[in-house]
């Protein structure tokens, strides 16, 4: 039984509740049983983080850095075991799980490196007998609420800057993927943190999550998940005027101009759309190809997509695993059938694989669609599965306007050999990250976060650390000068 992490100890839930975690590749396989946290557990965890705050925030940034380096090393030593658990609870192929754990270890090292750079500044004031300075301090007790699609790295990008900044944290992982997260937090907690600095409470978002957000001892909430949930998180946090950062849904466009290297663009589309079975916030979700190259592009990508081997993520030949859950599968089926009803042509996929060996998991074939009506759910909603709708465009302005025709603004990519065109497109596309001839992938050194309904605030990069620092101003009157009207 996998237990909660509160005050540096693995403990059962207060009311003894537990649930089973099933393998999406074989839904009759129970990966493990996990304790389900209650509101009392959530409050205990916040109390413990609150008590630990005075100890951890007073550790010097350089000493915090050493703890984070140690945490990264511990993660590296256990990467195979964590990645195996991640594949079994989430469904993604093992190499992708391993990459996720390695990226998480790099994130810990990155913020270990940044911790000693935290500094304020001295400011000269109008009155030369006084001076001011700016202090950068921890925000306080922070809460991380995370999704199931990349549970480890999306949790670590919150933990690492929070701890680097001297904050303490309570994590609420997604209910269906708590196992690898608990393993990782156990390791980080054992890297030298005072007990209570990092806690994990499992449980339902609407119960445990909401109680954590409304707890008056919590100063900041870092949330990753669906846009609608993010709006609810923001509204609860607003009652206490708490800091929030929100990493929400996306519908990233990819634009392939007529002068692009087509093979590289097809590589980009396949990796960026079908990795993690399309369940990535920054996946390519709408592909626009210039009309002069449209037919040849379609022909070539149709040949390539057939070669993507669908299967259990623990088999070495697998390139794409199952969808994560029944809910996800039903949603994708509904989006595809709505597009077909509105006239879409499915060039490949659009259904479960016929393979008898895959009948026990939530499998769905990688899917290509054309003639997709812009009013269909495949365009209007976030598509969190392996379906790629491809559209034709004729002019630069048309491509930009199609790319921007969405309530989301997470990422986008442009594929062209013309740097002038690429930079103009990057200026005009309304998204938090623009990739030029490059896969939709996170970069630790750069801030990542969406515009419009894709979110608020940034993770990664130096900006990711600033999220967890409070700015204070101090005015010093060293000569004890009096104000004239006090004479």
The DSSP output letter for 240 is: T
How close are the terminal C-alpha atoms of the chain, in Å?
72
The sign one gets for the Cα dihedral 214, 218, 220, 224 is: negative
Q: What is the largest CA-CA distance in the chain?
A: 92
Nearer to ligand NAD, 191 or 213 (CB): 213
Q: Where are the beta strands (DSSP E) in 335-386?
A: 345-348, 367-370
Of 235, 251, 299, 176, whose CA–CA distance to 403 is shortest? 251
Nearer to ligand NAD, 74 or 287 (CB): 287
Nearer to ligand NAD, 146 or 318 (CB): 146
**Least distance in angstroms from the C-beta of 77 to ligand NAD:** 27
48-73 in b/e burial notation, b at 16+ Cβ within 10 A?
A: bbbbbbeebbebebeebbbbbbbbbe
**281 annotated active-site:** yes
Token pair of 175, please? 């209910």
The DSSP output letter for 205 is: I
Nearer to ligand NAD, 118 or 403 (CB): 403
**Least distance in angstroms from the C-beta of 254 to ligand NAD:** 16
| Nearest residue to the partner ligand NAD, using Cβ | 205
Please spell the DSSP secondary structure of 376-391, one letter per residue. Answer: SHHHHS---SSEEEEE
Contact criterion met (CB below 8 Å) for 260 and 416:
yes
CA distance 37 to 12: 8
Of 437, 438, 429, 463, whose CA–CA distance to 448 is shortest? 463
Nearer to ligand NAD, 206 or 216 (CB): 206
Nearer to ligand NAD, 114 or 248 (CB): 248
**Least distance in angstroms from the C-beta of 281 to ligand NAD:** 3
Nearer to ligand NAD, 228 or 303 (CB): 228
The DSSP output letter for 351 is: S
Token pair of 148, please? 């199931």
Of 96, 210, 247, 453, the catalytic one is 247
Of 173, 117, 167, whose CA–CA distance to 139 is shortest? 167
**100 annotated active-site:** no
**Least distance in angstroms from the C-beta of 476 to ligand NAD:** 41
CA distance 251 to 286: 7
**Least distance in angstroms from the C-beta of 134 to ligand NAD:** 30
Contact criterion met (CB below 8 Å) for 143 and 43:
no
Pairing of strands 367-370, 345-348: antiparallel
Token pair of 54, please? 């005075």
Contact criterion met (CB below 8 Å) for 339 and 377:
yes
Of 80, 87, 100, whose CA–CA distance to 444 is shortest? 100
Nearer to ligand NAD, 251 or 416 (CB): 251
**Least distance in angstroms from the C-beta of 294 to ligand NAD:** 28
**Least distance in angstroms from the C-beta of 280 to ligand NAD:** 7
483: exposed, middle or buried (C-beta count within 10 Å: 0-12, 13-18, 19+)?
exposed
The SS3 of residue 464 is helix
Of 96, 281, 453, 459, the catalytic one is 281
CA distance 135 to 162: 17
The tokens 């000693």 sit on which residue? 116
Of 306, 297, 377, 303, whose CA–CA distance to 340 is shortest? 377
> Binding residues for ligand NAD, per CB under 6 A?
145-150, 154, 172, 174-175, 205-206, 209-210, 224-226, 229, 232-233, 247-250, 281, 382, 384, 410, 450, 454-455
Nearer to ligand NAD, 200 or 410 (CB): 410
**Least distance in angstroms from the C-beta of 226 to ligand NAD:** 4
**Least distance in angstroms from the C-beta of 147 to ligand NAD:** 3
State residue 149 phi and psi, 5-degree precision.
Answer: -75, -40
Active site residues: 247, 281
């Amino acid at each position: 039984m996998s237990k909660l992490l509160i005050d540096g100890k693995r403990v059962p839930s207060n009311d003894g509740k537990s649930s089973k975690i099933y393998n999406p590749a074989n839904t009759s396989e129970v990966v493990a049983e996990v304790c389900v946290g209650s509101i009392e557990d959530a409050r205990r965890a916040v109390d413990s983080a609150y008590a630990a705050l005075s100890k951890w925030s007073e550790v010097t940034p350089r000493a915090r850095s050493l703890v984070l380096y140690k945490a990264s090393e511990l993660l590296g030593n256990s990467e195979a075991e964590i990645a195996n658990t991640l594949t079994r609870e989430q469904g993604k192929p093992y190499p992708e799980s391993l990459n996720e754990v390695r990226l998480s270890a790099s994130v810990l090292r990155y913020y270990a490196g940044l911790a000693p750079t935290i500094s304020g500044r001295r400011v000269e004031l109008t009155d030369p007998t006084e001076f001011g300075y700016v202090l950068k301090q921890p925000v306080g007790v922070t809460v991380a609420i995370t999704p199931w699609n990349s549970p480890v790295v999306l949790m670590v990008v919150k933990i690492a800057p929070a701890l680097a900044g001297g904050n303490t944290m309570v994590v609420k992982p997604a209910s269906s993927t708590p196992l690898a997260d608990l393993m990782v937090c156990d390791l980080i907690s054992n890297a030298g943190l005072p007990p209570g600095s990092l806690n994990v409470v499992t449980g339902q978002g609407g119960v445990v999550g909401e109680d954590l957000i409304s707890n008056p001892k919590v100063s900041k909430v870092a949330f990753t998940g669906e846009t609608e949930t993010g709006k609810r998180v923001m509204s609860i946090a607003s009652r206490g005027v708490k800091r929030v950062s929100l990493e929400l849904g996306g519908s990233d466009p990819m634009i392939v101009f007529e002068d692009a290297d087509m093979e590289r663009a097809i590589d980009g589309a396949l990796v960026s759309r079908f990795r993690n079975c399309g369940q990535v916030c920054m996946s390519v979700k709408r592909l626009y190809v210039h009309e002069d190259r449209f037919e040849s592009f379609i022909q070539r990508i149709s040949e390539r997509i057939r070669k993507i081997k669908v299967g259990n993520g623990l088999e070495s030949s697998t390139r794409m695993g199952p969808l994560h859950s029944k809910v996800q599968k039903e949603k994708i089926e509904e989006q595809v059938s709505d597009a077909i009803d509105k006239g879409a042509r499915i060039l490949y996929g659009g259904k479960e694989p016929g393979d008898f060996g895959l009948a026990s998991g939530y499998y769905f074939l990688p899917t290509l669609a054309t003639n997709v009506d812009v009013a269909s759910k495949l365009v209007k909603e976030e598509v969190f599965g392996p379906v790629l709708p491809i559209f034709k465009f004729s002019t630069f302005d048309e491509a930009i306007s199609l790319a921007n025709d969405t309530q989301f603004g997470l990422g986008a990519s442009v594929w062209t050999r013309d740097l002038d065109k690429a930079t103009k497109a990057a200026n005009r596309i309304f998204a938090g990250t623009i990739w030029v001839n490059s896969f939709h992938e996170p970069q630790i050194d750069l801030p990542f976060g969406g515009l419009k309904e894709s979110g608020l605030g940034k993770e990664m990069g130096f900006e990711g650390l600033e999220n967890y620092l409070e700015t204070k101003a101090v005015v010093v009157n060293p000569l004890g000068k009096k104000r004239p009207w006090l004479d």
